[in-house]
Chains A and B, each alone.
Chain A
Amino acid sequence: MNKPNQLRMTVYAALFVALIAIGAFIHIPIGPIPIVLQNMFVLLAGIILGPVWGLACVAIYLFIGICGLPVFSGGHSGIGWILGPTGGYLIAYLPAVVATASISKILGQKFSGNVIAMVAGSVIIYALGVPWLKFAFSMTWTKAFAAGMYPFIIGDCVKVIAAAMIARMLKPVVTLQPQNKTA
């Protein structure tokens, strides 16, 4: 990768770190449970940045949170929050972003492919988040699913469709640079 493009990817990845952090604070009131946009930005980071930069972006987000910057939901930070009951969802962002990015790449970054990729990503987030929650609270599986997954499914469907539409509209903005390729 040449130097200006590498710089551009560095800047875009940093932008997604900020978006993921802010995603924890943007609530969209729909139905009884407000939708938080954080996991949508994680999945979008995968689709737009690709597996390597996407992973770097999520890793840096988690890392600065662990290091004490208040970027987790509710302005929290620190290793305690990651090890806490909802930490599984955060750790799951790492495999989720790689999976989403890879599947989207394999399926050719089309609308339907992106939807499948993001559904897979969401499944990974719950696959790690729900058991973590279960063991932290030592609750039954039924209860863990009822508290940590079912209420969010509708919101997630909405987010996945919205994210696929956003990815489609954003692609020309991100790829069409006034920079020529000879750089």
Chain B
Amino acid sequence: MAELTLFTYRKGDSLLHLLDVRCKFILLCLTSICIFKAHFSSVFLFIFVLIFFFINCRINLLKNLSGLAFFLLLLVLMFISRSVALPGDPVFTLFDISVTKQGMTDGALMVSRFFTIMMAGILFSITTRPASLKNAIQWLLKPVPFVPEKRVAVMVSLALTFLPLILRQANQVSDAQKARLGNLNKNPVKKIVRLSIPLLKKTFVSADNLAFAMEARCYDEDRTDPEFHLSGKEGLFFIGGLVLSACLVLY
């Protein structure tokens, strides 16, 4: 469970918490795409903007870095492989493999871009309630043809309610098996099957109940639209976001 709650929503009243989720989401997408054109100067500008918001949300970034260990490891690997793969002026050579200057610059740029996107994404997750995110998804999918946006919104909401339910049931099943020394079984296929079958049977029965409960409450796909709360600063953020995106593309 701890892993699942690492980058989830935290209550707060910072600028980003109050900002309309649609505005936040569009800006996140825009900057995430633009950053692949960016160079060092604008990437650092973006990082400064993010640091400002992290401070504004009172979130200690350094404390959370441990949860990103795997991601950071990937970034290090990416940097190393880029450094050795690109041809150019060698900085030093080790066992016939030369680390080039061009490679290091290119690697550092790639890594800083990915790191920045990741930070922006974390900031978004921390400041956005899943429920309002679901509403934003519905709003964004509305103009997309052939996608029943209301059904998608209901499915997202259901998936979110299933998550804690399944986790609890998984723990129960695993404890019940340990109590009967099931963990001594060496056959991997049996191990998976014995864990999955009771879990899936239970969750499918729960799903059936849920379907009944929804029907009992007049479930209909044609539902009341969600409402959004504007903080009044959306215009300002939009302009800021556009300027930032322009910087990312141009510099």
Contacts and interface: CB of A to CB of B under 8 A. Distances in A.
Interface of A: 4, 7-8, 10-15, 17-19, 21-22, 25-26, 28, 30-31, 35, 37, 40, 56-57, 60-61, 63-64, 67-70, 73-81, 83-86, 136-139, 158-159, 161-162, 165-166, 169-170, 173-174, 177
Contacts of B163: 18, 21-22
B155 A17 contact: yes
Interface string B33-50: 100000000000000000
Contact of B201 (A26, A84, A170): A170
A131 B218 CA distance: 48
Majority secondary structure, A binding face: helix
Contacts of B51: none
B152 interface: yes
Identify which of A18, A28, A37, A79 gathers the most chain B CB atoms within 10 Å of its CB. A18
Contacts, number: 198
A170 to B, nearest CB: 6
Contacts of A174: 204
Interface residues of B, number: 67
Interface of B: 3-8, 25, 28-29, 32-33, 67, 70-71, 74, 77-78, 81-82, 85-86, 114, 117-118, 120-122, 124-125, 128, 130, 133, 136-137, 151-152, 154-156, 158-160, 162-163, 166-167, 170, 188-189, 191-193, 195-197, 200-201, 203-205, 207-208, 210-211, 214-215, 219
